[in-house]
Structures are given as C-alpha cells and as structure tokens.
C-alpha cells in the first residue's frame, strides 16, 4: 500500500489520545492496517501505532516472523494487528530495559515496564484477541499502546541519565537501522 512518514517527538499529534475503532472490516480500516504494516517494515520497526502516522485511531501493529535488525538479540514476537487494546498487568513486577522508537530516532532509553501482561482487543474483522505474554513481547505491546494515550517512552523513564544515542550505547548496531 503506502509507506508513510513517521511523526517525530515534538509533533503535537503524538500527544493526543486516539479514538476507539467504531467500525470493523471496512475498506478504509484494512487500508490503514496495510499502510501501518508497510511503514513499520520499511523502517525496521518492532511495532507501529496509527498515531505515529497521524491517524488518531486505536490501531497498533507489531511483530514479525523475521529477526528485527533494530533488536537482533530479542526473541521473535508474533505478527499482530490489535485494535482497541486493553492491557492488564499480571504481576506487580517491573523490569527496566532498553527501548527505541521510530518517533524518537537515534535514541534509546531504559524504560520500566510490567514483566507480564494480558492484552485484549480486536483484529480488523472485529474478532476478539486475548493473550498473556511476558518479556520482550509484553514490552513491545506496552510501548505501542502507549502511543494511543499520547505517551512516548522518554515520558516513562525514571532516570534520563539512561537516555542516549543508539550508536554510542550500542556501537554494534548499524546506525541506519535506528534512524
């Protein structure tokens, strides 16, 4: 479909609350999902939320069947399209780990996230999705869903001394994979 420009931190559209999807299985919705997937893949993203391309709907895509060059040592996350998501922590345990974001290019930060969550919502056809996940999968889902409430990962960080340029923090990663 179409590869969109990804909004960058500072754009006020990234700070807005997204609206729930009201109609499923429409041509417009399927077009948006294809555009999100194509844009995410073109940018080597682990996920992408509709607000990142300027669309104020509760739609996120994440995962792939292939290793992500931006996160080469992380486990695979199944390709998922999730609409109107709800996240429920399954434990009080929080883990800090490194995250990047296509809307915050060239930077990484240590972000606290719940270790185990349940997420639920719908696919583009209106069928229910419900999964219990942990680790990197849980981190990716929480990160993408934050975009739906106008939250970027630096806003979650507890210590901005743990925010830095990817090429300095991870010199082995190709710089072009994080821009």
Alpha helices in the chain (DSSP H): 27-42, 135-146, 166-169
Residue 24, Cα to own-chain centre: how many angstroms? 21
H helices of 13-68, where? 27-42
Enclosing H/E stretch for 150: none
Task: Catalytic residue, from 95, 96, 134, 144: name it.
Answer: 144
| 144 annotated active-site | yes
97: β partners: 111
Contact 20, 149 (CB under 8 A): no
Q: Rounded to the nearest 10 degrees, how much is the dihedral formed by the CA atoms of 131, 105, 42, 175?
A: -110
What amino acid positions are annotated as catalytic residues?
144
């Amino acid at each position: 479909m179409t590869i969109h420009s990804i909004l960058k931190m500072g754009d006020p559209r990234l700070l807005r609350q997204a609206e729930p999807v009201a109609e499923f299985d429409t041509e417009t919705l399927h077009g948006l999902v294809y555009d999100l997937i194509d844009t995410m893949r073109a940018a080597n993203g682990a996920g992408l939320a509709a607000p990142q391309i300027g669309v104020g709907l509760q739609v996120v895509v994440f995962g792939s069947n292939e290793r992500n060059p931006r996160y080469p040592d992380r486990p695979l996350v199944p390709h998922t399209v999730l609409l109107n998501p709800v996240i429920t922590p399954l434990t009080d345990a929080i883990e800090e780990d490194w995250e990047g974001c296509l809307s915050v290019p060239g930077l990484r930060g240590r972000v606290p996230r719940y270790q185990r969550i349940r997420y639920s919502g719908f696919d583009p056809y209106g069928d229910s999705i419900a999964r219990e996940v942990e680790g990197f999968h849980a981190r990716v889902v929480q990160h993408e869903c934050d975009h739906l409430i106008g939250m970027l990962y630096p806003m979650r960080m507890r210590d901005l001394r743990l925010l830095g340029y990817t090429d300095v923090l991870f010199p082995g990663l190709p710089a072009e994979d994080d821009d």
